[in-house]
Amino acid sequence: MKIKKVKNQPKQITKYPEIDPKEQDAVESVNEIFKTPLTGAYNWDYIVVDDRIKKLYELGKKLNWNEDFDLDWSQDFPKDQFLINSDIFKTPEVELDGYDDLSFEKKIEMDRHRVSWNLSQFLHGEQGALLVASQLVSCAPTFNAKLYAASQTFDEARHVNCFNRYLKEKIGFQYPSTDGLKSLMDKILTDERWDLKFIGMQIIIEGLALAAFNNLKLILNDGLLKQLLHYVIRDEARHVTFGVNYLEDYLKTLSKSEIEDRAQFAFEACVVMRDRLISGEVISRFLDYTPEEAHKLAEESEQGEHFKNLLFTKIIPNLTRIGLITDKVKPKYEKLGVLSYQELEDNFNVDWAEISKPYETQEEIEQEISSVFENSAQN
């Protein structure tokens, strides 16, 4: 295998040639090296406490799905149909000039680019989660946490493989990570504080993943991709539960200044992640808008507003529960207009029956999505 080391990630769209390499020498691995002053911890008592973390670990073993057997990769979505079933380019709030003038072929191409952009950010975020989870195995102080972090590492590896495979086999190209996501992953991976890794990954990035995956799942036409996202969502729900349960007691042992430092980091991470999956890059690529204009339009669209709200409904209750919505940062969240979400249910009150049930089939997932739309229409 050829190794190519770069100082930063490639910035151009990566296209996948239709090749089937017979030898490893045909594959070039593009690596960016980072260094971290990781502070690890042995655990010599090996005590397994019968608590929620242990229960999540056992649940992860029980629900360990296999992407090769549980997903039908032989399904090929028609190349002349839209992957996204909602016309986000014409909403009551936003109408994109020039979209109606595009040929049908260009609209299909734009549709594929939008899906590729979203899945690419999922892919990069899941690689970040894979690397952080592997770090947590070393630096988490208790035996239960090490066990769960090990099981999460395997989950994240499966997620990376799934998104990578769909992009390669079904789309054919991927976008680079956004600068905001990349900088946040750099910060989390190179910080020596294990609890900051928990906050950044388990609460913020995984919380965003739950919001983003749910958002995209509802507007897709491809049954394979909906099923893939649904299975990943089931895993992510356990990961967020792990983070919020583990951090609550630990953060109470920190000094006021240490808590404020982490609260400020959490706020900054929230702002970065709010913009992670709202981008005008695809719009500006196909229509006569500057990247700045396109970003503003995407942010103000119905889907953009829905996504931002969904993101904070997942994260704010958890940050409140673990004590990171302090009086000092509260006005900043208030300025964003998201403090009302503090009263929502957090991920401590887990519906164990829901996250313990067997994985659903494509048909059952379709029925679930249909019921969501029916309930929304009635309300």
- The predicted structure's pLDDT at residue 292: 87
Answer with the residue of higher pLDDT: 245 or 278: 245
| Distance separating alpha carbons of residues 154 and 145, to the nearest angstrom | 14
The larger pLDDT score, comparing residue 295 to residue 69, is at 69
| Arithmetic mean of pLDDT, 159-166 | 97
Check residue 92 and give its pLDDT: 42
pLDDT digits (tens, 9 = 90+) for 138-152: 999 999 999 999 999
Position 85 confidence tier, pLDDT thresholds 50, 70, 90: confident
Contact (Cβ atoms closer than 8 angstroms) between residue 15 and residue 116? no
Does the structure show a pLDDT above 80 at 375? no
Nearest in space to 72 (alpha carbons), one of 362, 367, 378: 362
Q: In the predicted model, what is the mean pLDDT of residues 26-42?
A: 86
pLDDT given for residue 64 in this prediction: 92
Tens of pLDDT, residue by residue over 194-235, are: 999 999 999 988 888 888 898 889 889 999 999 999 999 999
| Listed residue (61, 62, 238) closest to 151, CA to CA | 61
Longest dimension (CA), the chain: 68
53 Cβ contact list (under 8 Å, min separation 6):
142, 144, 145, 147, 148, 242, 245, 246
Which pLDDT value is given to residue 279? 74
Examine the pLDDT at 335 and tell me if it is beyond 50. yes
Give the residue-averaged pLDDT of 249-254.
90
Look at residue 93 and tell me whether its pLDDT is greater than 70.
no
pLDDT at 3: 87
Which has the higher per-residue pLDDT, 10 or 130? Answer: 130
pLDDT class for 26, splitting at 50, 70, 90? low
Instruction: State yes or no: pLDDT of 21 exceeds 60.
Output: no
In the chain the domains, ranked by start, together with CATH numbers, are 102-369 (1.20.1260.10)
pLDDT at 323 over 70: yes
From residue 94, alpha-carbon distances to 107, 277, 327 in Å are 17, 18, 36
Mean pLDDT of 29-48: 90
The pLDDT value given to residue 291: 86
* Residue 44, both tokens: 């010599």
* pLDDT of res. 18: 62
pLDDT score of 345 more than 50: yes
Could you tell me which residue, 164 or 339, shows the higher pLDDT? 164
Query: Ramachandran region of residue 325, left (φ > 0), alpha (ψ -120 to 50) or beta?
Result: beta
- Choose the weakest-confidence range: 16-30, 176-190, 342-356: 16-30
- pLDDT more than 90, % of the chain: 56
pLDDT at 91 over 50: no
pLDDT score of 90: 47
